Amino acid sequence: MTEPEPPELPEPPEPFGARLRRAMDTRGPLCVGIDPHAALLREWGLNDDVGGLERFTRTAVEALADRVAVLKPQAAFFERFGSRGIAVLERAVAEAREAGALVLMDAKRGDIGSTMAAYAAAFLDPDSPLFADALTVSPYLGYEALRPALDAARAGGSGLFVLALTSNPEGAEVQRAVRADGSTVAATVLRHLAAENAGAEPLGSFGAVVGATLGDLGAYPLALNGPLLAPGIGAQGAAPADLPAVFGGAVRQVVPSVSRGVLKQGPQVSGLRHSAARFADEVRIAVG
């Protein structure tokens, strides 16, 4: 009697870094935030309620999900409406991914042990209704406290963006603090990420959040073979032309993030599309 054939194992998911590199090369290196805060809802002529939230979010997804590389919903602006707001977020994530955008959930989670594992399950498990292509996380309970999220992302083909050098001025007191070995906390985080990405091609899946408004960062090890999410373009004062001076040789790995600079052109779909296309073109020119 012949032995039965072993069952075929499912193909492993394509890593986030590879999908991100392809999206940036084909759609342009741009991330657009979906930040439905109260003032912006009012600017769009919408009520600050679940109905306004849904109208805002659906318009942004309809306008941008089939043409930008990354959409980044800020979870807090949905969570403030409770379960109905989360339902809007779930639909937005599904519709954006169906239209071809990569979804980066901006939730900045950071905890330890089983709690970190639960956050990872919520956003990085492909069976979760909030499953996103990547998640922002905070390493300031210790980098290894992120291990459940790192493992979940690797298993599910997702990515992480770890806070390293953020654009808010308060961040410096922690991120630029000097350790006993003489290195800064931020540099230590960046080196950990480089180790996670070692050998990945064409791009690692574990990135850092590094503000575009911080000036020359040549003293920091930004060459981590992974993406660098760069908030601060547009309303916060940085321009695409600034990117080479800030990021140097790592500029091709930069994913500039624009929120208000695009969203203020709503609620017209054409305005949102035109603004996103202009930013993407300016970034292409800046990074070569």
Does this model's pTM top 0.85? My answer is yes
Alpha carbons within 13 angstroms on the beta-carbon side of residue 34 total 31
Distance CA 163, CA 142 (A): 12
Annotated catalytic, 108?
yes
Full pLDDT tens readout for the chain, 288 residues: 566 666 665 677 899 999 999 999 999 999 999 999 999 999 999 999 999 999 999 999 999 999 999 999 999 999 999 999 999 999 999 999 999 999 999 999 999 999 999 999 999 999 999 999 999 999 999 999 999 999 999 999 999 999 999 999 999 999 999 999 999 999 999 999 999 999 999 999 999 999 999 998 999 999 999 999 999 887 677 889 999 999 999 999 999 999 999 999 999 999 999 999 999 999 999 987
First to last CA, the chain: 63
Distance CA 285, CA 288 (A): 5
Which tokens in the block code for residue 177? 């603090």
Conformational region of residue 41, where left means phi above 0, alpha means psi within -120 to 50, and beta covers everything else? alpha
Strand, helix or coil for residue 63: helix
Strand, helix or coil for residue 258: strand
Distance CA 227, CA 276 (A): 20
CATH tag, 17-287: 3.20.20.70
Indicate which residue of 108, 191, 260, 284 is catalytic: 108
